[in-house]
């Protein structure tokens, strides 16, 4: 039986009727909390998280001049940062821009794997934050050529990461950059393995970095989790705090199998439909907005019918999860009426390419949030 109303469970306060995003109580985290205070108030809050791999230590607290001074002491020459428009890279860019100003050169790479209308939105966002040295590199052709015939997820990420650095090295020659500033956060390097950890999946700014890279890497957000980065974005009044996560490799890891412009276009259109329908349903009070929600294209063909014509198209999977920091997640219970609208719109919009839409009800673990 279709449902038009769901009962949400808040992972923060333990009560029903709302998600943790709408919880009015402070966000809690199990662990050991240490802090120091001065005449100026609370300065630092150190948490050793119980539920994270390896009991990760990190500094958490209000953004202060200390952060700027630390970057100023680290970056003594021209630096480049990849500005994807996501929460992590945007916060890192704003912090670095405040610290070193004109020494920072921001590069946005249009890989061909971005969401619908994303390039224009990102350029406007970065300009709004006062970032002046911004270069947009149109690199879709290079990426599709480099990834031709590559279908294995880890290899995809490594190729994307290496080309990402090569493009930056091209820009480095133009501006003489010595440093590469990245928006790497704790889940990125935890999941990318290294040392005693197994590699869950390599992240483009961790596992994909080539060994012969000449740039020195600076990662101001390395020890923060996604919820901490969002908190910092709110404090800095950056209009990305509530933006849902988007992977560095973009739609490349939502297009399973061969990466062609045509297949990526199907994913781009499908993701836009999922976002539009979820946000519309949330605005109408039918459901709470998930932490992350998107569509992925599976290289699984099945027989279907469009009108009176036999179709043999691929499969779109819709994924929506609730999470706090991305380290674990639960699938969102979406009303059937919303999923039905999404299915109808996708199969009608990309008619012939897709004739089946399914919904993923897997938690993390055992699955990851992204499919690759």
pLDDT in tens, 206-223: 444 556 667 788 888 887
Into which CATH architecture does domain 63-235 fall? 3-Layer(aba) Sandwich (3.40)
The 10s digit of each residue's pLDDT in 63-84 is 444 456 777 878 889 998 988 8
Q: What is the DSSP string of 38-101?
A: ETTEEEEEEEEESSSTT--EEEES---HHHHHHHHHH--S-EEEE--SSHHHHHHHHHHHHHHG
pLDDT digits (tens, 9 = 90+) for 41-61: 544 443 333 333 222 333 344
192: helix, coil or strand?
coil
119-133, 194-208, 266-280, 308-322 — which one is most confidently predicted on average? Answer: 266-280
Burial label, 47 (beta-carbon count in 10 A; 0-12, 13-18, 19+): buried
Q: What fold characterizes domain 250-359?
A: GMP Synthetase; Chain A, domain 3 (3.30.300)
Give pTM, 2 decimals. 0.70
Domain boundaries of the chain, sorted by first residue: 63-235, 250-359
């Amino acid at each position: 039986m279709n449902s038009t109303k769901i009962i949400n469970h808040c992972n923060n306060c333990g009560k029903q009727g709302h998600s943790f995003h709408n919880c009015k109580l402070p966000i809690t985290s199990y662990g050991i909390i240490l802090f120091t205070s001065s005449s100026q108030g609370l300065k630092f809050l150190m948490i050793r998280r119980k539920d994270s791999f390896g009991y990760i230590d990190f500094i958490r607290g209000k953004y202060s001049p200390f952060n700027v001074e630390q970057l100023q002491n680290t970056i003594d020459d021209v630096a480049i940062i990849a500005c994807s428009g996501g929460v992590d890279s945007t916060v890192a860019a704003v912090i670095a821009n405040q610290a070193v100003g004109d020494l920072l050169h921001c590069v946005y790479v249009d890989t061909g794997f971005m969401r619908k209308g994303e390039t224009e939105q990102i350029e406007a966002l970065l300009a709004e934050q006062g970032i002046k040295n911004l270069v947009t590199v149109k690199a879709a052709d290079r990426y599709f050529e480099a990834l031709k015939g590559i279908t294995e997820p880890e290899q995809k990420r490594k190729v994307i990461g290496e080309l990402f650095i090569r493009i930056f090295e091209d820009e480095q020659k133009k501006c003489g950059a010595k440093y590469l500033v990245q928006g790497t956060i704790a889940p990125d390097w935890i999941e990318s393995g290294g040392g005693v950890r197994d590699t869950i999946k390599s992240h483009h700014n961790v596992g994909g970095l080539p060994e012969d890279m000449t740039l020195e890497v600076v990662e101001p957000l390395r020890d923060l989790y996604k919820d901490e980065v969002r908190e910092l974005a709110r404090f800095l009044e950056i209009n990305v705090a509530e933006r849902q996560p988007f992977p560095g490799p973009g739609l490349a890891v939502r297009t399973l199998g061969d990466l062609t412009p045509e297949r990526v276009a199907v994913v781009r259109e499908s993701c836009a439909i999922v976002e539009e329908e979820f946000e519309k349903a949330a605005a109408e009070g039918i459901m709470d907005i998930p932490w992350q929600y998107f569509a992925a294209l599976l290289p699984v063909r099945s027989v279907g019918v469009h009108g009176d014509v036999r179709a043999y198209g691929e499969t779109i999977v819709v994924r929506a999860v609730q999470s706090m920091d991305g380290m674990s997640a639960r699938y969102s219970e979406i009303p059937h009426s919303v999923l039905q609208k999404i299915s109808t719109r996708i199969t009608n919009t990309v008619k012939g390419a897709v004739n089946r839409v399914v919904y993923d009800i897997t938690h993390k673990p055992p699955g990851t949030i992204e499919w690759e």
